[in-house]
Amino acid sequence: MIWMLNIDVAIGAMRSAFNPLSCAVELYDYQKLVRLRVFDPHNTAVLIILSLSMRDIVDPSILRSELKQARARVERKGFRFRSWTVPRRQTDMPRDYQAPWADRAYAEVDEAMPCSGAYIENV
């Protein structure tokens, strides 16, 4: 099943992916693109991703792929993170209002690793 994350959930996932380091997420280009910066404890940038499309970060499988790659780049620099997973599909909507295909059995996200469209700057 195809589903998208709420943009606030996606940005929260991006910020939490690099815990305990700090992370800045910035929307630009009329909120079509996202810039991600990760900082060490001394406020020095350890990773800058200059361009992720808004369409990509609300797709859970693409977001997972991009953030796994970004985490791996920062870990290669000697940093360690807390465990993290991309948010799963959840709803607080009463069952009577949910679409018939919204069953939990279909809520799992495929583990496909799509090609990355991000431009990453080495810091």
Q: Would residue 112 count as lying in a domain? A: yes
Query: Which helix (H) or strand (E) segment is 12 a member of?
Result: helix 7-16
4 in Cβ contact with 58 (< 8 Å): yes
Q: Would residue 14 count as lying in a domain? A: yes
pLDDT for residue 66: 92
pLDDT band, residue 101 (cuts 50/70/90): very low
pLDDT for residue 82: 87
**How many helices, marked H, and strands, marked E, lie in the chain?**
3, 4
Structure tokens that stand for 100 in this block: 């018939």
Q: Would residue 1 count as lying in a domain? A: no
- CA dihedral 44→25→68→111, nearest 10 degrees, is 180
In total, how many domains does the chain have? 1
Q: Would residue 2 count as lying in a domain? A: no
pLDDT in tens, 22-58: 999 999 999 899 999 999 999 999 999 988 999 999 9
Q: Would residue 26 count as lying in a domain? A: yes
Mean pLDDT across 98-114: 39
Write down the mean pLDDT value for the chain: 77
Q: Would residue 36 count as lying in a domain? A: yes
pLDDT in tens, 59-98: 988 999 999 999 999 999 999 988 888 776 654 444 444 4
Rounded Cα–Cα distance for residues 102 and 123 (Å): 42
Domain span including residue 33: 7-89+98-121
Chain centroid to CA 70: 10
HEC readout, 72-95: HHHHCCCCCCCCCCCCCCCCCCCH
